[in-house]
A = this chain, B = another copy of it.
């Protein structure tokens, strides 16, 4: 872990702090202390805090997409791959520092003032919905089912965060399973 680049340590520290405390609550000095990267270097990598925020969100977007992709593609059948999304959520919600979806949280905090953040969040959620739609299509189910499962997943993210429980992932999975049963493959 010692030979990571300064930019990686910077993005790691910023990501962790933003997620734990919210974006506006974290000062550049706290990021500097946590990352060990000087303010000078930080500002030559990213010309402003907003640029740094966007870089953090874009990096997390890629990481989450890759994580879900790996998780779902490990299952054998198309229907199992659809339901695996909710197992992924359960694993995620169980992490002790889980505090909701960073994109939903960023939208909630900055959606009213930062169009760039809104665009990144929108792109992330659209990609998530598209991935689910591809899995649903591969399972031979109609496209409107994908939108419904997306709502269950996003709802589980916020409900689990607020309630401080991983149980919503199981409830969402059960609902998804019922909806799949109600829409048998053609």
Binding site for B on A (CB under 8 A): 20-22, 24-25, 99-100, 103-113, 118, 121-122, 125-126, 144, 147-148, 150-159, 161-163, 168, 171-172, 174-175, 178-179, 181-182
Known A25-B24, A110-B22, A182-B182; judge A148-B163 contact (CB<8 A). Answer: no
List chain B residues, Cβ under 8 A from A159.
Answer: 125, 150-151, 154
Assess the B151–A172 pair: CB atoms within 8 A: yes
- Which residue of the partner chain B has the closest CB to A181? B182
Q: Can you list 10 A-B contacts (CB < 8 A)?
A: A22-B109, A22-B113, A24-B109, A25-B113, A104-B158, A105-B108, A111-B162, A125-B162, A178-B178, A179-B179
Alpha-carbon separation in the docked complex, A24 to B108 (Å):
11
Chain B residues near A182: list those with CB within 8 A.
178, 181-182
Instruction: Indicate how many identical chains form the complex.
Output: 2
Contacts of A171 in B (CB 8 A): 144, 147-148, 151
What residues of chain B lie closer than 8 Å to A158, measured between beta carbons?
104, 107, 154-155, 157-158
Q: How far is the CB of A171 from chain B (nearest CB, A)?
A: 5
Question: Once bound together, how far apart are the Cα atoms of A21 and B110, in whole Å?
Answer: 7
Q: Are A20 and B99 in contact (CB under 8 A)?
A: no
Are A111 and B151 in contact, with the CB atoms below 8 A? no
- Complex: how many Å from CA A91 to CA B157? 24
Candidate in A122, A147, A174 with the most chain B CB atoms within 10 angstroms: A147
